[in-house]
Chains A and B, each alone.
Chain A
């Protein structure tokens, strides 16, 4: 619609935006880049750099929306705008923690299926305490929880199971048993939010182990198979249930 060209970005926060909408930024974001003025007084805070997140592209004086979803804004640290969209297909992003399935061993490198367009590669030395003599025991079909070291559109994604200091911090081969299933990316982000209600309510039911991958994969393990399947069904249904319906459904399962 013609009216959607050139709306102020701040006015659209929390609303649905569609591809093709042009969001105008307030003039203060462009000020510092225009003239190279020296700031003599340290009183005024520097404007900082605006972060243009997923779903947005810079276009002239504004931001062009490329995905449909809700526009979000974070004013801290220079400001960031992004579009919160619902998607099923994962696109690898550097730094994301994901669950991969080992599909092949090619020499010194494992090939993992992460749900993207290409299999990711994982070197056998990228595990904590791994050396050429002490190789990790990884078989085809194993589940690995790791993070992306390299992930861009031009190169094959690479994963590692150690962080920058060489510690595994929870990453590595996921143990035996348990159940792996796939949900949409929006639900994963909801579950990963700090103090997620769903996780808190589920932990009241019975103890279980949970691994959440940003690629939409969840691994659950509880004491018995039945408890595991109940948690799986609740998590899958959380996509469509509102908070009220969930609170009504959960007490029925606490008996098992």
Chain B
């Protein structure tokens, strides 16, 4: 878990998003909450064509071998669309678990287990950030106590250094490097950063700034969808 502010002297950012006009744009977001009847919290989160279904169980009884004496034991399971989970899924599960643990107030529920199950419904790029967003909304839907919210943003660096936000699968393949950041809602701190490919430190800082700006849109989306949900009460 890295904690980083915006880098000093971040230069001008050239971005080529999927929408014309040269703006950094996220694909359209949509979510549906409380759709499954068995889990305590469930949400399906869509970013463009990428969609992930998250189900949350907890705080429930933990097995003696897995229970922690001072906080809740969080377990994340990521199931790909086809095939069995492999090494890539395991590493993503660890990244998701560390991000969620930074935000969850586990000390309020010691010796319990919280289980988050993510099912990939369709993968059209930016899968890890979609999983992060679905995990956050799932935690909200289940009513678990959180310190703050978090969101996931993916950036792709083109061969010429252009930053594309929320890349599609094709843009990810053509990019020189793909970076995913998990950003906190309190001070826009970076909770988790992962990179695939090669890029310079300055480029990482530029992408971080772009991601932090884009996180505003996602947090506004969370607030709007929750307002809509509670307006029916």
Contacts and interface: CB of A to CB of B under 8 A. Distances in A.
Interface string A49-85: 0000001010000001011111000000000000011
Contacts of B34: 86
A85 to B, nearest CB: 5
What bracket does the count of chain A residues touching chain B fall in?
A: 20 to 34
A87 B146 CA distance: 14
Interface residues of B, number: 38
Contact of B145 (A66, A70, A84, A186): A66
A117 B226 contact: no
Interface stretch (A13-21, A172-180, A226-234): A13-21
B109 A91 contact: yes
A186 B145 CA distance: 17
Nearest to B232: A242
B90 interface: no
Given A1-B216, A66-B105, A89-B59, A20 B148 contact: yes
Contact of A186 (B41, B142, B149, B233): B233
B220 interface: yes
A11 to B, nearest CB: 16
Contact of A117 (B112, B142, B149): B112
Given A16-B227, A20-B185, A87-B40, A66 B147 contact: yes
Contact of A153 (B62, B110, B142, B226): B110
Contacts of A70: 230, 233
Interface string A20-50: 1000000000000000000000000000000
Interface in B143-187: 143-149, 184-186
Interface of A: 1-2, 5, 16, 18-20, 55, 57, 64, 66-70, 84-89, 91, 117-118, 153-154, 186, 242
Interface of B: 34, 40-41, 58-62, 105, 108-113, 140, 142-149, 184-186, 188, 216, 219-220, 222-223, 226-227, 230, 232-233
15 contacts: A18-B149, A18-B226, A19-B140, A20-B146, A20-B185, A66-B145, A66-B147, A68-B140, A69-B230, A85-B143, A86-B143, A88-B143, A89-B143, A118-B61, A153-B109
Of all A-B residue pairs in the complex, the 8 with the closest CB atoms, nearest first, are: A20-B148, A87-B143, A19-B146, A66-B145, A89-B40, A117-B112, A20-B185, A88-B40
